[in-house]
Amino acid sequence: MNILGIASPFGHDHSACIIAGGKVVAAAEEERFTRKKHAEGQSPVNAIKYCLKEAGLSPQDIDYIAYPWSLEALREKRGEYFWRTIFKRPSRAYKRFFRNRKSFRQQLNFIATALKECGFDIEKVKIEWVEHHIAHIASSYYLSGTENAGLLSMDAGGEVTSTLLAYGQDKKIYKIKEIIAPDSLGNFYSTMTDYLGFKRSNGEYKVMGMAPYGESGKIDLSHMVWWDDRRKTYFCSDDYVWVERSRRYRKDKVYSRKMVEEFGPPREGDDLAKPYIHIARATQDKLEEITLKLVEVYLRGYLEKHEGRLCFSGGVALNVALNRKLLESGLVRRLWVQPASHDAGGSLGAGVYLAVKLGEPVEEMTHVYLGPAFSNREIEEEIRRYGFRFSYEKDICEKVSQLLYRGEVVGWFQGRMEWGPRALGNRSILGNPTIKGTADKINAQIKFREKWRPFCPSILKEFAQEILKTSHPAPFMTIAFRVNPSWQERIAEVVHVDGTCRPQVVEREINPKFYRVIENFYHKTGVPVVINTSLNRRGEPIVCSPKDALEMFKGSGLKYLAIGDFLVSK
């Protein structure tokens, strides 16, 4: 059975995937092909075409289309949404209550337009509509390799739900608790992201990175988001969180004039400053506090019964500091986070949900290398078009390890592109974590981003427990861990100000070429770790093709690019 999953229902983060015979054979985000961040206002045409080509399928070979949005779910919860929203956003409350058929037609038109352009016969297409948060949960639970676990999905909102707690038993999903927007931890965090000077639905990870510079307790946000013990849920203030347009500080912002009156003008520029670092700290603390309360109240019993296993998804699941807190709480002992937990991951979740529903178990997700790959011939032709100096290397892994040992920063483009927002050794920029100033150099001369932003380490599996003081799996950079104090000085360029890092633990069997680079570097330095950040510049998607990589190389301070078996240099 061949299933095409497509997303997203929200005008951004469009993607496609194909599940064939229970195996995820291809998955990619549209932004990688169009080079427009989040593919806002676009449809996943290029992603669909790529997935079909990679799977060796034609439109006629597709049995079902899976889509992470459900009119049935919208209708079922519209009454609850109406009464929660009517006093905060009357226009939206009425729209969701009375115009759900219009919403359905909009989604159908979005799907039809994309499929027609890809050669599908719309009259013959079978579409399965999957509830948004069920799709998110399926993307983590069904691909985690576990039969029984607690399940959690959190984001800004899907249909009208912002949070879903459930449990998985024998590959079936059972709902426990739903929280309806506008009570939304995702919206709360995005509102604060907006106020702190970053782009909402894009810069939340920057707030997370800023938070450790602040001090807990300096700012009180309990009047914005609070836990209600009697009703066993949380609420968001209508006066602060994603407010009605008439009360916004500016039309293009989602925070209120009241917030500016209380905390002062919104942050501008790239530097760290008070009180903004304390506000970032308070934002992160509040997210962690409420999430831990939800897990304790609704999932504790299931976690205790099933060895502390939690599958987490939705945009909030990309908050690696929160994920560290979940593990440190003692409630969770094994955490599996979908590497593409944002809305782009909905295509994969809808697809695997449908596969399981139709009786076809899906394989465990052990890697994210599901995008396009390019041959040496294709790469060489593109290099010659650009006119760069280059050489063919018999052992590109050894050559790159030599450059890293010398303190050079190297672009690394190999194999199939990663699925999800993290570069995991195929579309990466690599550096030496033992040489002071390497991170500053990458930020200032290559990535052109804020100087305080941390970098991630890629670590050989055999040394991960020693460096991280945990045996917990970490293949996808989805969890932050504390770095062993004995290693913090040795790899200071990948240790954040709070003594943590967001690692990728690299296994030889999963990515042998990248493993060899780190292994060769270890033989030269005694350090089994390299800096690994995504191969892109600030505000751009991660590169997809050789052309993208060479264009990025041309417009940055990178001196070396290892692409296929070629080393390009300036």
Q: What is the CATH number of the domain that holds 115?
A: 3.30.420.40
Per-residue pLDDT, 269: 87
Q: Are both 213 and 124 inside the same structural domain?
A: no
448: left (phi over 0), alpha (psi -120 to 50) or beta: left
Tell me whether strands 2-7 and 15-20 are parallel, antiparallel or unpaired: antiparallel
Q: Are both 295 and 319 inside the same structural domain?
A: yes
What percentage of the chain exceeds 70 in pLDDT? Answer: 97
Per-residue pLDDT, 88: 66
3-class state of residue 27 by DSSP: strand
Residue 249 lies in a domain: yes
Q: Are both 451 and 306 inside the same structural domain?
A: no
Cis bond before residue 182 (omega within 30° of 0): yes
User: Which class for 148: exposed (0-12), middle (13-18), buried (19 or more C-beta within 10 A)?
Assistant: middle
pLDDT one-digit tens code per residue, 188-221: 999 999 999 999 999 999 999 999 999 999 999 9
Counting Cα atoms < 13 Å in the Cβ hemisphere of 419 gives 30
Residue 141 lies in a domain: no
Neighbouring C-beta atoms of residue 546, cutoff 10 Å? 24
Tell me: pLDDT of 102 over 80.
no
Confidence tier at 93 by pLDDT (50, 70, 90): low
Among 12-26, 61-75, 102-116, 409-423, the least confident range: 102-116
Residue 459 lies in a domain: yes
Tell me whether strands 23-29 and 15-20 are parallel, antiparallel or unpaired: antiparallel
Per-residue pLDDT, 440: 94
Per-residue pLDDT, 77: 83
User: What type of residue sits at position 203?
Assistant: G
Q: Are both 305 and 171 inside the same structural domain?
A: yes
- CB-based contact 288:322 (threshold 8 Å): yes
Tell me: pLDDT of 86 over 80.
no
Angle (nearest 5°) at CA 352 between 332 and 316: 40
Q: Which of 137, 226, 236 is nearest to 177 (CA)?
A: 137
Per-residue pLDDT, 97: 59
- CB-based contact 189:204 (threshold 8 Å): yes
Domain final residue pick, 302, 335, 368: 335
- pTM score, whole prediction: 0.96
pLDDT one-digit tens code per residue, 373-393: 999 999 999 999 999 999 999
Overall average pLDDT of the 81-109 stretch? 72
Q: Are both 162 and 110 inside the same structural domain?
A: no
Tell me: pLDDT of 361 over 70.
yes
What percentage of the chain exceeds 90 in pLDDT? Answer: 88
Q: What are the backbone dihedrals phi and psi of residue 2, each rounded to the nearest 5 degrees, phi first? A: -115, 120
CA–CA distance, 132 with 217 (Å, rounded to integer) = 35
Per-residue pLDDT, 268: 92
Q: Are both 432 and 324 inside the same structural domain?
A: no
Q: Are both 408 and 519 inside the same structural domain?
A: yes
Tell me: pLDDT of 84 over 90.
no
Structural domain including 60 reads 2-134+346-357
Per-residue pLDDT, 74: 85
Confidence tier at 368 by pLDDT (50, 70, 90): very high
Q: Are both 188 and 125 inside the same structural domain?
A: no
Tell me: pLDDT of 226 over 70.
yes
For 307-341, b/e burial (b = at least 16 CB within 10 A) is: ebbbbbbbbbbbbbbbbbbbbeeebbbbbbbbbbb
Confidence tier at 451 by pLDDT (50, 70, 90): confident
151: left (phi over 0), alpha (psi -120 to 50) or beta: beta
Residue 158 lies in a domain: yes
Count of all residues that appear for the chain in the document: 570
Residue 341 lies in a domain: no
Per-residue pLDDT, 11: 82
The two tokens of residue 5 are 């999953």
- CB-based contact 128:354 (threshold 8 Å): yes
Residue 98 lies in a domain: yes
Cα torsion angle, 75, 344, 127, 43, sign? positive
User: 130 - beta bridge partners?
Assistant: none
Q: Which of 64, 74, 94 is nearest to 9 (CA)?
A: 74
Cα torsion angle, 138, 143, 148, 153, sign? negative
Per-residue pLDDT, 96: 60
Which contiguous run of DSSP H or E holds residue 137? helix 132-141
pLDDT one-digit tens code per residue, 27-80: 999 999 999 999 998 999 999 999 999 999 999 999 999 999 998 988 888 788
Tell me whether strands 225-228 and 172-180 are parallel, antiparallel or unpaired: unpaired
Q: Are both 244 and 323 inside the same structural domain?
A: yes
Per-residue pLDDT, 200: 92
pLDDT one-digit tens code per residue, 334-353: 999 999 999 999 999 999 99
The overall average pLDDT reported for the chain is 95
- CB-based contact 438:405 (threshold 8 Å): no
The domain total for the chain is 3
Per-residue pLDDT, 430: 99
In 432-559, the DSSP E strands lie at 456-460, 481-482, 500-501, 504-506, 529-534
Q: Are both 410 and 283 inside the same structural domain?
A: no
Residue 282 lies in a domain: yes
Query: CATH number of the domain that 489 lies in?
Result: 3.90.870.20
CA–CA distance, 211 with 206 (Å, rounded to integer) = 9
Q: Are both 506 and 470 inside the same structural domain?
A: yes
CA–CA distance, 161 with 78 (Å, rounded to integer) = 10
pLDDT one-digit tens code per residue, 244-278: 888 899 989 999 999 999 999 999 988 899 999 99
Tell me: pLDDT of 398 over 80.
yes
Per-residue pLDDT, 116: 96
Q: Which of 182, 200, 319 is nearest to 254 (CA)?
A: 200
Q: Are both 330 and 406 inside the same structural domain?
A: no
Q: Which of 245, 224, 252, 253 is nearest to 90 (CA)?
A: 245
Residue 368 lies in a domain: no
